[in-house]
Structure 1
Amino acid sequence: MVARRMTVFRDATLAAAAALTLLAGGCAKHEQPKPSPPAKAVKAMKPAPPTPIAVKKVELGENTWDPAWDKIVEEAIPASMLTTRVPRDVRRFCPRFYVMGPADKRAFWAYFFQALAGAEAGLDPTTRVRHTEPEVAVRDAVTGRAVRSQGLLQLTYEDQTRYGCDFDWEADKKLTPKDPEKTILQPKYNLECGVKILTKQIIDMHKPLFSRTGYWSTLRAGNPDHLMFVKQMTNPPAACGLHAISAKKSAEMRRLVATR
């Protein structure tokens, strides 16, 4: 009788242990971490060649275009700026634009904005200009002060409301006028804003790249300021098919800028 009871007790114990094992296994299975989401595809990027003004500044020992700014532009370029929606006058400086790969197109836009910054601000991110011409000497709706064009692309605080740019006037007004920490003067925010403005103009509004009603006077064909931009567009990426400078000279220019 005792032996029978011991057998029943043993069987019950084994059954309970098996149940606990199954339960633990189920919990362990339930608590396994979820698989990580797939990593976002990295955009293929290429370095942009230096503009003539960038090389000149290197030769003079002055601050020049930072190659890291190319990456800022290339990462900010939306997919629409790599398509046939880009106006046909882009071929003026990049004849092969429509047949180039995405990486070459991004490199072209990086060069384009480097040239624009050269024409607008001499590649100096702390440049600030107060215009006196009646058509532009107006009050900035965000700051409540006279409009000043600022940074690499000579933008204004109103652009944060017009184009969704990441400027912060409330923070910037506490800093000195040329403090490089001001959001409008930081190359990242200034260049990203410029990309938004150009995208709005040529993709959303279907204007030519060189429109007489464009945001920047340096991109308005026929405007005297336009010549300053044209002078900087003589060394676009080789993939564009418009290379006024030899490959050897271009490589040397790039080396000088990279080791300034």
Structure 2
Amino acid sequence: MNRVLRVAVALVGLAAPMLASGCGKHETAQATAAPAPAMKPAPPTPIDTKKAEVGGSTWDPEWDKIVELALPPAMLSGQVPHDVRRFCPRFYTMAEDDKRAFWAYFFQALAGAEAGLEPTVQAKHAQPEMDVKDEVTGRAGHTSGLLQLTYEDQKRYGCDFDWDRDKKLPVKDPSRTILQPKNNLECGVKILDHQLIEKHKPLLSGSGYWSTLRPGTMSYRVFAKQMTNVPAACRGGMEKNLPGTR
């Protein structure tokens, strides 16, 4: 089964009602539960396609669902800064499920540029702007997981990280809370929502959380190359407008 079909099956399965027997409180809870939002699978980024061919960590279709379900309503609205059109020219006129698929693709591209799609990547950065002490761990310049986040993000954005638990585990133990894709990706959505909606900053900013979203940097060029296969609903002259790929 190819990747797109696998993702589509997974998304349909998520939205379908659960089968249950008997009656009573369980049936009542099912009847009143909010339905899952309409979702679509995101296409593969270039790095995901390459790794599927030669081997290595690829993007798990389940991660699309994690991102799409974590998106707050504001990130599917006109509140999103206009520079989103540099990657998705039709963002404001697309259906909500297409917008969800775009953001799933966006975070796949970000994870590709930040961590090569490797969930357990740990990095130590020497750049002055990154050499800042983490108030939770006491260490400077360390980032972790798919989106290269820090334990301090738990305090800043309410992310589901637990340093007291994780410090007792091996550095690359996938059970570390910060390395679990669900925790890492949901935290990334919170960070981007804070930047775009609460702070009213553009998507691409010299003061953004990720250096990969700072135009003019080498890491931004790596990210921009991953944004060349966005969902078809986004397209419409994107190839001419995409920055950093000429």
1:86-101 map, 5 Å:
86-101=80-95
Deviations 1:157-203 (A, max 9, x none): 00000111000001100100010110101100000000000000000
1:107-186 map, 5 Å:
107-186=101-180
* Contact 1:76–1:192 (Cα < 8 Å) also in 2: yes
Structure 2: gaps (5+ residues): 1-23, 240-246
Equivalent of 2:43, from 44, 49, 53?
49
Post-superposition offset of 1:133: 2.1
Q: Distance in 2 between the 1:136 and 1:217 partners?
A: 10
1:1-260 map, 5 Å:
36=28, 38-242=32-236
* Contact 2:86–2:238 (Cα < 8 Å) also in 1: no
* Letter of the structure 1 residue corresponding to residue 56 of structure 2: E
Q: Distance in 2 between the 1:184 and 1:94 partners?
A: 30
Post-superposition offset of 1:212: 1.0
Identity level (%): 66
Which residue of structure 2 lines up, in the alignment, with residue 18 of structure 1? none
Tell me which moved more, 235-244 or 110-119: 235-244
Post-superposition offset of 1:144: 1.5
* Contact 1:129–1:150 (Cα < 8 Å) also in 2: yes
Q: Distance in 2 between the 1:147 and 1:177 partners?
A: 15
Q: Distance in 2 between the 1:36 and 1:190 partners?
A: 33
* Letter of the structure 2 residue corresponding to residue 201 of structure 1: Q
Q: Distance in 2 between the 1:220 and 1:242 partners?
A: 24
Tell me which moved more, 49-58 or 220-229: 220-229
Deviations 1:225-252 (A, max 9, x none): 110010000000001125889xxxxxxx
Q: Distance in 2 between the 1:57 and 1:243 partners?
A: 28
TM-score (norm 1): 0.79
* Contact 1:236–1:243 (Cα < 8 Å) also in 2: no
* Contact 1:151–1:190 (Cα < 8 Å) also in 2: yes
Structure with higher Rg: it is 1
Which consecutive segments of 4 or more residues in structure 1 shift more than 3 A? 242-245
Q: Distance in 1 between the 2:213 and 2:221 partners?
A: 9
Q: Closer, same or farther in 2 for the Cα pair 1:140/1:45, shift >3 Å?
A: same
* Contact 2:134–2:140 (Cα < 8 Å) also in 1: yes
Alignment RMSD, CA only? 1.8
* Contact 2:126–2:141 (Cα < 8 Å) also in 1: no
Q: Distance in 2 between the 1:113 and 1:62 partners?
A: 18
Post-superposition offset of 1:138: 2.4
* Contact 2:87–2:238 (Cα < 8 Å) also in 1: no
Residue 143 of structure 2: SS of its match in structure 1? strand
* Letter of the structure 2 residue corresponding to residue 231 of structure 1: K
Deviations 1:56-87 (A, max 9, x none): 00111222111110000000001010000000
* Letter of the structure 2 residue corresponding to residue 50 of structure 1: P
TM-score (norm 2): 0.83
Which residue of structure 1 lines up, in the alignment, with residue 9 of structure 2? none
Q: Distance in 1 between the 2:186 and 2:192 partners?
A: 10
Q: Distance in 2 between the 1:130 and 1:67 partners?
A: 29
